[in-house]
Chain A
């Protein structure tokens, strides 16, 4: 019998080629929280002036971080995390989240946006599509009730800013969720929006420019 443990361990240490991916996977499994910088994020971080930023967090997982605005096209903003995950926002409303594990692939939230940005209570339908664990797209429809929770204030860079706080309670066939928005002058400054049942709500807060 070949007891070649030393050989094997040396080989493991020096594994290379595509096996590097395997080791990355292993490392990822052992240290899920270790930072992984994506080349697109590194490139974006070196852009000057610094692109607009968004403070984000998944309260359900105790994760938080900063996203940078990567692109805006036809009113849809794509924001990027350091490890290469993105969200898209349309008028401040979340329309997709890719790379976080939840499969929010696309959304139609125009009816909600119309009411929210006007700070109007009412009911609206919204639609989300999800990429599921079987690589299939599922379309889900929700009926949402938007209510005003009244005036509130949030702190941006330590400065209190008066806002309207609104809540949107949505019910679908399989799941229900609640989004919260802090809105000023037709713009969403801060929000907590649902990304799907896998990760729950994503908290987002705009970071105003220094000048």
Chain B
């Protein structure tokens, strides 16, 4: 669904690189030393003979890009059938191209997978007159095929002269980083040229030393010649189609699609504009502000609530204190909290009597204040039509931990509050070694009943309707406690599922502190008790949390029963909002299978909410006991729905892609972890989205 959605999005116009059928900058099969513009996401599918490679490449830093590739080689495993191969690449720019010298890059292809494509290379690329590009380099591993020679690095150390067999340890060793093999064994030269006939058409020729030895032995593919020729056509929307004649025996085709996460479908969004500020005398003369006795405040509150609702905001708290006013709202519409605050401020200015000079606006979640922003009414009037209104208003706003709530402040209708959500869902899984994509679609119902501020009873039901998630016949071969690898049994033995059924209480034990306690069926595989505390100062880049859970594994039917396995699991977490669109998270503690270890997650987060990240977990479960993949790792992608539609929405499409899901390093998926709930309203996130304050 995520990928399909991305295809609907506006593709980015990437300048004149060519992308190889491995999905990285290059010619036809060989790499070049080029980089994509920083932040670019490139999706490529390449076919030749009986091989299909689907690659996602992300330019994570201006000088580093990383790739995740899913390859299918038909008939590769003989009796067993097709080979589904997952691989990761990393590619570093060592020096930029200059007037007199070429760009230089170092690449690690398939540095941790099953090793079919494992190779390392050093490549140089030089552009002449903007049209002709020459690339040449030296490759090791798979690239050391035709014309290979003894490794020149052998002069440094004898260990470089031979390359151990990558698959010697069998499938159980896959996923271990093969530092030991890098740049070892024979080497070979490769190179090629691209010539841009015009802005659309580029002609390609290359010398690829790859002999396709494994394919030759297993599926009879013959690389008769090292020369490949191709033509690339660049469409107006920036996508590229390359057709090629390869290895003297076959034709190849590849298609690349590029996305710039900074370019949403409509730059300013197509949602309704904010209400303009009314002249203050018109507000004073509004019927609800006329001094007609005791009913005026109630009438005013009603108008306020109704006008907020029109903007997608729910009034839950209101308290006047001299010439300022404290208000709590729940935001159900805007992805950026700054926009919710801006809309609230405008509605207040258009409804409140003239003597109210300051607004303390608290964003609330289920009755819990997440933070508070103080806006002076006069600043709104002064800056509404200012050229630089967003930044000037941020400079004058004050973000603080929270408003002090008094008992009578909650509005009469605010709690209890019931909300529900009913609609389709799609669940995709990429971690079955037998099938690149498993999915399930169906209907889901979500119910939330907030009985009192902070206390919420919640249920989530799913009814699968179609899909192949439950077709998996693969039995878990895990030698440790099967805490996740039985996912196939869950899919097969369940029908109508209770995804969660919980009582949850979130509260503020003190300044800069949040706490959560959750009891019930916490997620589809575990139920029990979960407690968490988070320290998160309003203006801080750093947050620290601790979580402790006691859980029991649920029955495979995902209804009310439990299995025998129960465990205590919990983590200490540190979250840090790094400068420059990066975010780091470390979780250390005890995982579901009783293993101890830590997870490191690094995300690139764009200001508009588009996120791309990677994580890995190392625990006391040994690589051997973990099984295929050796340790838990993956990449994750999160896209705001508003990025795709241009209309305001808090929904996000999120997908975690793991090469394999097993039992080591598995964490509980409890809902509403405090950092995720609170972060949007803290200063670091508010400042990123403040461009939308006046929107």
Contact = CB atoms under 8 A, between A and B. Distances in A.
Given A90-B385, A105-B694, A132 B267 contact: yes
A127 B495 contact: no
Contact of A100 (B270, B422, B609, B645): B270
Contacts of B424: 8, 11-12, 15
28 contacts: A2-B495, A4-B442, A4-B463, A5-B466, A7-B465, A17-B421, A17-B423, A18-B419, A19-B422, A29-B8, A71-B278, A73-B276, A78-B276, A83-B272, A84-B271, A100-B268, A102-B266, A104-B268, A105-B695, A106-B385, A106-B694, A129-B387, A132-B268, A135-B608, A135-B609, A135-B691, A137-B388, A198-B267
B651 A3 contact: no
Max count, chain A CB within 10 A of own CB: residue among B268, B278, B470, B692: B268
Contact of A132 (B262, B384, B463): B262
A131 interface: yes
B441 interface: yes
Contacts of B463: 2, 4, 7, 11
Given A98-B274, A133-B264, A4 B421 contact: no
A55 interface: no
A198 B389 contact: no
A28 interface: yes
Interface string B281-319: 000000000000000000000000000001000000000
Nearest to B692: A135
Contact of B268 (A15, A38, A70, A103): A103
B620 interface: no
A88 B385 contact: yes
A106 B383 CA distance: 10
A8 B263 contact: no
B172 interface: no
B603 to A, nearest CB: 16
B279 interface: yes
Contacts of B470: 1
A17 B420 contact: yes
Contacts of B278: 71, 73
B688 interface: yes
Given A100-B270, A102-B268, A8 B695 contact: no
Nearest to B609: A135
A22 B444 CA distance: 13
A193 interface: no
Max count, chain A CB within 10 A of own CB: residue among B336, B421, B423, B646: B423
B645 A137 contact: no
Nearest to B651: A22
Nearest to B382: A74
Nearest to B333: A21
Interface of A: 1-5, 7-8, 11-12, 14-19, 21-23, 25, 28-29, 38-40, 70-74, 76, 78, 80, 83-86, 88, 90, 95-108, 127-137, 139, 196, 198
Interface of A is mostly: mixed
Interface in B644-680: 645-647, 649, 651
B391 A137 contact: yes
Given A73-B278, A134-B606, A106 B386 contact: yes
B369 to A, nearest CB: 22
Contacts of B103: none
Given A11-B422, A29-B645, A131-B691, A103 B272 contact: no
Contacts of B647: 25, 28
Nearest to A101: B266
Given A4-B442, A22-B423, A99-B273, A134 B466 contact: no
A4 B692 contact: no
A85 B269 CA distance: 10
Contacts of B332: 18
Contact of A129 (B273, B388, B442): B388
Contacts of B391: 137
Contacts of A127: 387
A133 B608 contact: yes
A90 B386 CA distance: 12
Contacts of A97: 268
Contacts of B607: 134-136
B641 interface: yes
A28 B645 contact: yes
A38 B385 contact: no
B388 A131 contact: no
Contacts of B649: 21, 25
A98 B268 contact: yes
Given A101-B268, A101-B270, A134 B387 contact: no
A107 B423 CA distance: 42
A8 B691 contact: no
A130 B267 contact: yes
B443 A40 contact: no
Contacts of B646: 101
B147 interface: no
A25 B423 CA distance: 13
A164 B282 CA distance: 36
Contacts of A11: 422-424, 443, 463
B23 interface: no
Nearest to B643: A133
B264 A98 contact: no
Max count, chain B CB within 10 A of own CB: residue among A14, A29, A84, A139: A84
A96 B695 CA distance: 10
Nearest to A25: B645
A136 B423 contact: no
Given A17-B419, A22-B651, A105 B385 contact: no
Contacts of A73: 276-279, 381, 384
Contacts of B465: 2-5, 7-8
Contact of A8 (B270, B279, B390, B442): B442
